[in-house]
Structure 1
Amino acid sequence: MIYPENFEQKIEFYKIRQLVSDYCLSPLGKEKTEQMHFSASFSEVAATLSQADEFVRILREEESFPADHFYDVRPTLRRIRLEGSWMDTETMFQLKRSLQSIHAIVAFFNRPEKDMQYPHLTALAENVVIYPEILKKADTILNDFGEIKDNASSQLAQIRRDLATTMNGISKSLNAILRKAQSEGFVDKDVAPTMRDGRLVIPVNPSYKRKLKGIVHDESASGKTVFIEPSEVVEANNRIRELENDERREIIRILTAFTDYIRPYLPALLESYEFLAQIDFIRAKAKFALLIDAIKPVFEDTQQIDWVQAVHPLLFLALKKQNRKVVPLDITLQDEQRILIISGPNAGGKSVCLKTVGLLQYMLQCGLLIPLRENSKVGIFEKIFIDIGDEQSIENDLSTYSSHLTNMKMFVKNCDGRSLLLIDEFGSGTEPQIGAAIAEALLDRFNQRQAFGVITTHYQNLKHYANEHEGVVNGAMLYDRHQMQPLFKLSIGNPGSSFAVEIARKIGLPEDVIAQASETVGQDYINMDKYLQDIARDKRYWEKKRDEIRRERKRLEELSVKYETGLDEIDTQKKQIIAQAKQQAEQLIAESNALIENTIREIKETNADKERTREARRELSDFKTNIQAGEAKKGDRKHHPKTPQKIIAPSDAPLSQGDAVRLKGQTSVGEIVELSAKKATVAFGMIKSTVEIEKLERVSNNQLKKEKKMSNTRDVIFEKKLAFRQDIDVRGMRGDEALQAVMYFVDDAVQLGIERIRVLHGTGTGALRQIIRDYLRTVPEVSHYGDEHVQFGGAGITVIDLK
């Protein structure tokens, strides 16, 4: 239940509805937006929120979702239920393309992995019936531009061939007549045949109109040109008219036959468009959610409001245009504090706070995502009541306060533990003392009925009631006493001050007036207001200190984790270094022993020849020096063929300036131009980039040559593709010459990945055309070939589609 009837007007939900509607792709979605309504069903709201949330993820993560061709053809589908009716070509084209979209959307959600990713949207698509045969049937009739194909029927194909033949004949006759008339001087040299009333005519100067036999069809607005249909082509033009009428009748017959074909499927097709409407609507809700940074919070089947940094979406969008930020709202309504009494100065944000609660809760229960933080919790209310603004009625002679009391009567009668009350300036509009008393009595009834609510007021007695009764809590819109300006921030737990004296003093009201007013209300009242201000100030101070302590503790915890992680990494690296050193030491000992044994064996074999002994000792000495210098590399032992081939050769030897390298996992090769301890400057062609050394890997000469060769090949192919022309003209060539040229042409096109090419061979005797097509039949890469469209050359050109 929503009260009053103009609830949406009061919270400006109609603006939200329009913003969502603007994101719809078709009337299908806009119609759903108009039908969007408040629901108190937890399962219904949870499902619609989940659908919108899943579509937000699709918009963020998926690039392949089909969102084109959302057409509403339902009016036509309902109209063609009558036998003998048919849909026009444009509507049929829209039907074809929108059915393709429905088919693509269903296929998107029918993929196995999507069932886990988007379960609620997948469930929507499960029962949608798709008729591929309808699409196939439409494809035999319409081309990709929505035009009736020549081969939609054999009769239509014959009519259009006759039309083309007749038009060509008329064109030749007219050109001949025109050339003769131009040579005789009664038609200008730059004149060409034109069309008037569907008939080909020749423009002629009126003074020469009797020189050209025929029918005058029209004259120009200036009267300086008449349009004559030569008598020689009258019959042919009449034939054109007959053929055009035959073409229209055949097209209507084709469309009627297609309409008869789909008529039994109309109920299922209408259901498919209902699915398309839902997808359009859900997509629009998701687009709007992205606009206002809205999410699906934790949604529970209970009455609660536990919102963190909630934002009024319309205020957010308005301030965003001004490069300003809205102050977010933190608010909690739960069993122990169901009703929040908000007090504070005028223009301090009390009404905005109340409207934010009303709008966001209403949006939520209409299935819209709302702008707040992920750690928020939301609930559901069966009834929402609102009393805000001036409701004075001239017709009913009700004052503002009378209207207010009428609303209160409705609230008291119908509210319960599943209700949310939103009341602005509670009790105002009448004499303050009785108004405050009636407001307190009403508040007590609301509390007894366990209702939830947000109520704004200036009355002190309501603040006292909230302090003394369980279920009701005070809240204050904070105000900066020093700057004398509102902070637009809600603080729950303490009542707010109206700051009446301070505001009056800031405005410049005479001090004696302020003093007299203070004396009238009494010092106790003034002191109480000051105490409220001091409490609010102290609370802000200690909250600030608590936040500082919390942030410092968090920083220390992060530092502790960072140092512990660093120590673990150091310990791991230490173990790896020790293990590697042991391995290298063992390898070094083994290689040293082998070298010593080889040296001893050589000395024995040469019978201790002095020269060979000295040479063996020198080899041992060199080996020792290399080890001490850490340079015992494979290249250093080129002159020691009998020593082991590897002493110390790490698999990733240090990089040096001039080395060819590439980023790990990438293919582009560059050269190191500068090198430091941890980073290297690498030139990738004309671009220099500074990269961490550990992200680089050396490229060997063999790899470099291989990749350079591949790069050159790719460059050649790319240049060749740029220079390739998709047409070849073999007119005038002998049969063998033309065939060889076409063979090379087709081979090049296949190699370069060209999808469509054309061969200009002319009509002539048809021999050249036959030779070429006989060859094309033998090429496996040719998927289709045929005549070009009659307007672009017809049988004189063969169009070839390649796989």
Structure 2
Amino acid sequence: MIERVCRILEYSKMKEKLISFASSSLGKQRVKELMPSFDINQIKDAQERTFEGAKVIRLKGRAPLGGLRDIRPAIKRAEIGGILNEMELLDISSTLHGSRRFKSFVERMVEDEIELTILPDLTSQMVSLQSLEEEINQAIDENGGVLDSASSELRSIRQQIRSHESGIRSKLENITRSSSGSKMLSDAIITIRNDRYVIPVKAEYRGQFGGMVHDQSASGATLFIEPEAVVQINNQLREAKVQEKQEIQRILQELSALVSVEVEELAIIIEIMTEVDFIFAKALYSQAIRGSQPNLNEEGLIKMKKARHPLIPEEEIVPIDVELGGEFSSLVITGPNTGGKTVTLKTVGLLTLMTQSGLHIPCEEGSTAAVFQKIFADIGDEQSIEQSLSTFSSHMTNIVQIMEEVDFQSLVLFDELGAGTDPTEGAALAISILDHVYHVGARVIATTHYSELKGFAYNREGVINASVEFDVETLRPTYRLLMGIPGRSNAFAISRRLGLSDRIIEEAKSHVTEDSNKMEKMITSLEDSRKKAEEDLADTDALRKEAEQIHQELVKEMENLEKEKQKVLQSAEDRAAQSVKKATAEAEKIIAELREIQKNNPAVKDHELIDAKKRLEQSQPSLATGKKKSSPRLSKPNVDKLIPGDEVKVISFDQKGHIVDKISDKEYYVQLGMMKMKVSKNDLLYINRPKAITEKPLTTVRGRDAHVKTELDLRGERYESAMMDVEKYLDDAVLAGYHQVSIIHGKGTGALRKGVQELLKKHSNVQETRVGTQGEGGSGVTIVSLK
């Protein structure tokens, strides 16, 4: 059944796109063998591998995967004692070099503190066979030829060959250049026949050179003769070439023996590099389709945001939001032909197959996909001519098989359910089939033209209507999926736009039942309400973005003012320090002069000099830098201690804020605007205590008076302290009545983010988590939904 579903949903076409991103024949073969998995642990692992590959591409660009060859047949032959040829050995060397280069690439990323887990684990299993690679490279050149340096014996033999060839050419050139010899030749050239050097002699001069005839021209006018003068040297050359061939065979046998020793390690390298190529093919494909890693579940919950069909060009596709498996398990989509109903069906089906194949899906981050044990699809007209089945019979044959196998862990896709027969009976069958699948517990999406199914979805708990939008003005579908709203027929509106008279249309309307009219009016009202809500949402979003921009500008301006203030204070401090320094020097000069006077006038006493110096020191200006070192007492003596919620002033910053938490009797966490900072008690000035706050801990207060922000900033904190802060913050947020909060952990090395996310998974008050979107802080923020 899964093979048929993959064919219907064009899974193989998706793989054709994926295969183009593989770097080697090994990776391409792995893609060809790819099929959806039904084990959630395997799927999670495959998804994580794709995610890590995408992370490497994002940070470092394409990984070095060149040089990989399918050497499995070669190493099998070496294992049983076979002799590998030059190209097979060269492929082994190339693969070893490629694997070694990729391993170094991963090691450098780890040294750069890029957080990776899967790739370092894979590469650690590969043993470096650099010595084998060098042995092969020293014996065989890049074109597959055995080098003279492969052995001293081969070098000696080839020197003999070159010497013999030189001697033969010299003798033959003397013949071709001589006046007597040249007139007996058809052409003054030296050529080769049967691996022996010969010259082209005119047939009538055959007996002038002696030797052997090796060939003749097609006309018989020219004979290719090996002159008697070079026969002996040609024989010696022939013997040397036989020796060369034997020596090359010995060298190849020796190298093959070295390969046979490393068969197991070579097999591991091939297996791992095949997996690596496959990982990066998936990652590159994810980048091409702007894919994201979905959240996985086995509860049949699907929440695909801005989902796009990967086989439809991006400039043509309209993203859709699809939700299934929460409050409702069945989705009935209605709307006109060519409106996008079948595309919606295929999008959900193919993206589910891709998810279960370990691939990222073309949706927004934070989308959720379910892992199903069975996937069924009845889409399109697949009637069998051989069986003489009608369209209806063909569909019913498929549906009968589906009904026999469907269970609560299934996803079922029906296209035009009940079509091809009497509308009344077809609609009744469709309702009955949907009821059966619903009661089994499966997740089902069905498209239909029948208006009866609109009422069915409206009146059944766990079933919801959806429709594809149609623009009556342009007479074109918009391909948008509208959840919760059934599709209108639009027949009357389209007919009027095309010019049909109002009289005929009004008469037609009189034949429509009152229930149908009510249904159409209800749908129209729902569509109008939805459009108004979308417009309001767009306006609200624009205002929110404007407010955020103004807020950011104000924060920046405040920071600039604070910097300017500090700059002015520093300048004043520097000027004052210069004045003090100058005054002190002048005072010392005066004291020295007074002492000189004392020598000449004993009446001037020491204590008088000391009093004079003290008065000079007191006359020096005092510096007011804004950084007061005094420790003022609390302005209200009736307050024994500060508690969370107290309004205070941080003296050193001249800023007002409120106490967030107590660290010790001498230190507190204080919230100053967007910043939370650790402040000494001596640097705090008590201002006020809100009436709603008592001496009780902050966690007992609910609502707005709780002074709990909707976000927790952990940046700059130590790991252990951060974990404690998260625990306490979650408790405070739950008691404050928050449904969603943000935890800012930053990107960094990823250790803090990983720790936070592990804690959130285990926390009893956490319903679900997701990574922040671009506007929320991206991967540096985790969004938490609370129970």
Under a length normalisation based on structure 1, what TM-score does the superposition of the two structures give?
0.68
Q: How big is each residue's C-alpha offset from its partner over 1:776-801, in whole Å with a ceiling of 9 and x where there is no partner?
A: xxxxxxxxxxxxxxxxxxxxxxxxxx
Say if 2:204 is the partner of 1:237: no
Question: For residue 288 of structure 1, what is the amino acid of its counterpart?
Answer: Y
Among 545, 550, 558, which residue is 2:549 paired with? Answer: 558
Q: In structure 1, what is the Cα distance between the partners aligned to 2:229 and 2:427?
A: 102
Identity of aligned residues (%): 32
Question: For residue 289 of structure 1, what is the amino acid of its counterpart?
Answer: S
Say if 2:279 is the partner of 1:279: no
Among 295, 302, 308, which residue is 1:298 paired with? Answer: 295
* 1:152 positional shift: 2.3
* 1:365 positional shift: 0.8
1:345·1:500 contact (CA, 8 Å) conserved in 2?
A: no
* 1:232 positional shift: 1.5
2:305 alignment partner in structure 1: 308
Q: In structure 2, what is the Cα distance between the partners aligned to 1:486 and 1:64?
A: 40
Worse overlay, 455-464 or 578-587: 578-587
Q: In structure 2, what is the Cα distance between the partners aligned to 1:211 and 1:369?
A: 82
* 1:102 positional shift: 2.4
DSSP 3-state at the match of 1:127:
coil
1:343·1:456 contact (CA, 8 Å) conserved in 2?
A: yes
Q: 1:117 to 1:210 in 2, by over 3 A?
A: farther
* 1:42 positional shift: 0.9
Question: For residue 422 of structure 2, what is the amino acid of its counterpart?
Answer: E
Q: 1:165 to 1:267 in 2, by over 3 A?
A: same
* 1:363 positional shift: 1.2
Question: For residue 242 of structure 2, what is the amino acid of its counterpart?
Answer: N
DSSP 3-state at the match of 2:97:
helix
Q: In structure 2, what is the Cα distance between the partners aligned to 1:397 and 1:163?
A: 76
Q: 1:207 to 1:566 in 2, by over 3 A?
A: farther
* 1:350 positional shift: 0.7
Q: In structure 1, what is the Cα distance between the partners aligned to 2:168 and 2:506?
A: 105
1:773 alignment partner in structure 2: none
Question: For residue 579 of structure 1, what is the amino acid of its counterpart?
Answer: Q
Q: In structure 1, what is the Cα distance between the partners aligned to 2:242 and 2:497?
A: 87
Say if 2:378 is the partner of 1:387: yes
Q: In structure 2, what is the Cα distance between the partners aligned to 1:298 and 1:562?
A: 36
* 1:207 positional shift: 6.3
Say if 2:244 is the partner of 1:247: yes
Over the aligned positions, Cα root-mean-square deviation in angstroms equals 3.3
1:263 alignment partner in structure 2: 260
Q: How big is each residue's C-alpha offset from its partner over 1:138-161, in whole Å with a ceiling of 9 and x where there is no partner?
A: 244323443212232333222112
1:496·1:536 contact (CA, 8 Å) conserved in 2?
A: no
2:467·2:485 contact (CA, 8 Å) conserved in 1?
A: yes
Q: How big is each residue's C-alpha offset from its partner over 1:576-624, in whole Å with a ceiling of 9 and x where there is no partner?
A: 12321331354367569989999xx9xxxxxxxxxxxxxxxxxxxxxxx
Matches of residues 561-640 of structure 1 in structure 2 within 5 Å? 561-587=552-578
* 1:107 positional shift: 4.2
* 1:94 positional shift: 0.8
2:472·2:494 contact (CA, 8 Å) conserved in 1?
A: no
2:490 alignment partner in structure 1: 499
Among 198, 203, 206, which residue is 1:201 paired with? Answer: 198
* Gap regions ≥5 residues in structure 2: 593-787
1:114·1:122 contact (CA, 8 Å) conserved in 2?
A: no
Matches of residues 322-337 of structure 1 in structure 2 within 5 Å? 324-337=315-328
Question: For residue 440 of structure 2, what is the amino acid of its counterpart?
Answer: R
1:372 alignment partner in structure 2: 363
Q: How big is each residue's C-alpha offset from its partner over 1:319-369, in whole Å with a ceiling of 9 and x where there is no partner?
A: x5xxx3421111111321222111111111111111111111111111222
Q: In structure 2, what is the Cα distance between the partners aligned to 1:310 and 1:67?
A: 31
Among 522, 530, 533, which residue is 1:531 paired with? Answer: 522
Q: In structure 2, what is the Cα distance between the partners aligned to 1:246 and 1:208?
A: 36
1:434 alignment partner in structure 2: 425
Q: In structure 2, what is the Cα distance between the partners aligned to 1:234 and 1:514?
A: 107
Q: In structure 2, what is the Cα distance between the partners aligned to 1:63 and 1:402?
A: 53
Q: How big is each residue's C-alpha offset from its partner over 1:211-267, in whole Å with a ceiling of 9 and x where there is no partner?
A: 555444345567776544332112111221221122112212222233234335434
Q: 1:433 to 1:217 in 2, by over 3 A?
A: same
Q: How big is each residue's C-alpha offset from its partner over 1:716-751, in whole Å with a ceiling of 9 and x where there is no partner?
A: xxxxxxxxxxxxxxxxxxxxxxxxxxxxxxxxxxxx
* 1:41 positional shift: 0.7
* Gap regions ≥5 residues in structure 1: 602-803
Question: For residue 325 of structure 2, what is the amino acid of its counterpart?
Answer: Q
Q: In structure 2, what is the Cα distance between the partners aligned to 1:215 and 1:59?
A: 68
Q: In structure 1, what is the Cα distance between the partners aligned to 2:240 and 2:115?
A: 57
* 1:463 positional shift: 1.6
DSSP 3-state at the match of 2:454:
helix
1:712 alignment partner in structure 2: none
Q: 1:122 to 1:301 in 2, by over 3 A?
A: farther
Aligned residues: 593
1:48 alignment partner in structure 2: 46
Question: For residue 34 of structure 2, what is the amino acid of its counterpart?
Answer: M
2:305·2:367 contact (CA, 8 Å) conserved in 1?
A: yes
Q: In structure 1, what is the Cα distance between the partners aligned to 2:486 and 2:295?
A: 29
DSSP 3-state at the match of 1:477:
strand
Q: In structure 2, what is the Cα distance between the partners aligned to 1:53 and 1:115?
A: 17
Question: For residue 248 of structure 1, what is the amino acid of its counterpart?
Answer: K
Q: In structure 1, what is the Cα distance between the partners aligned to 2:15 and 2:230?
A: 63
Question: For residue 287 of structure 1, what is the amino acid of its counterpart?
Answer: L
Matches of residues 607-756 of structure 1 in structure 2 within 5 Å? none
DSSP 3-state at the match of 1:117:
coil
1:115·1:122 contact (CA, 8 Å) conserved in 2?
A: no
Worse overlay, 415-424 or 402-411: 402-411
1:448 alignment partner in structure 2: 439
1:658 alignment partner in structure 2: none
Q: In structure 1, what is the Cα distance between the partners aligned to 2:369 and 2:391?
A: 33
Q: In structure 2, what is the Cα distance between the partners aligned to 1:154 and 1:212?
A: 38
DSSP 3-state at the match of 2:413:
strand
DSSP 3-state at the match of 1:478:
strand
Q: In structure 2, what is the Cα distance between the partners aligned to 1:574 and 1:82?
A: 82
Q: In structure 2, what is the Cα distance between the partners aligned to 1:509 and 1:221?
A: 86
DSSP 3-state at the match of 1:436:
helix
Question: For residue 364 of structure 2, what is the amino acid of its counterpart?
Answer: R
* 1:20 positional shift: 2.0
* 1:133 positional shift: 4.2
Question: For residue 344 of structure 2, what is the amino acid of its counterpart?
Answer: C
Under a length normalisation based on structure 2, what TM-score does the superposition of the two structures give?
0.69
2:296·2:368 contact (CA, 8 Å) conserved in 1?
A: yes
1:109·1:115 contact (CA, 8 Å) conserved in 2?
A: no
Q: How big is each residue's C-alpha offset from its partner over 1:290-329, in whole Å with a ceiling of 9 and x where there is no partner?
A: 222222233345422111111101112xxx5xxx342111
Q: In structure 2, what is the Cα distance between the partners aligned to 1:13 and 1:125?
A: 31
Q: In structure 1, what is the Cα distance between the partners aligned to 2:473 and 2:541?
A: 27
Worse overlay, 253-262 or 204-213: 204-213
Q: In structure 1, what is the Cα distance between the partners aligned to 2:75 and 2:137?
A: 19
2:159 alignment partner in structure 1: 161
Matches of residues 125-204 of structure 1 in structure 2 within 5 Å? 125-181=123-179, 191-203=188-200
Question: For residue 6 of structure 1, what is the amino acid of its counterpart?
Answer: R
Q: In structure 2, what is the Cα distance between the partners aligned to 1:512 and 1:383?
A: 53
2:73 alignment partner in structure 1: 75
* 1:204 positional shift: 5.0
Q: 1:258 to 1:469 in 2, by over 3 A?
A: same
Say if 2:79 is the partner of 1:88: no
Q: How big is each residue's C-alpha offset from its partner over 1:517-568, in whole Å with a ceiling of 9 and x where there is no partner?
A: 4333335424532431232133112211122112212311320232133123
Say if 2:34 is the partner of 1:36: yes
1:118 alignment partner in structure 2: 116
* 1:105 positional shift: 2.9
DSSP 3-state at the match of 1:314:
coil
2:175·2:181 contact (CA, 8 Å) conserved in 1?
A: no
* 1:137 positional shift: 3.5
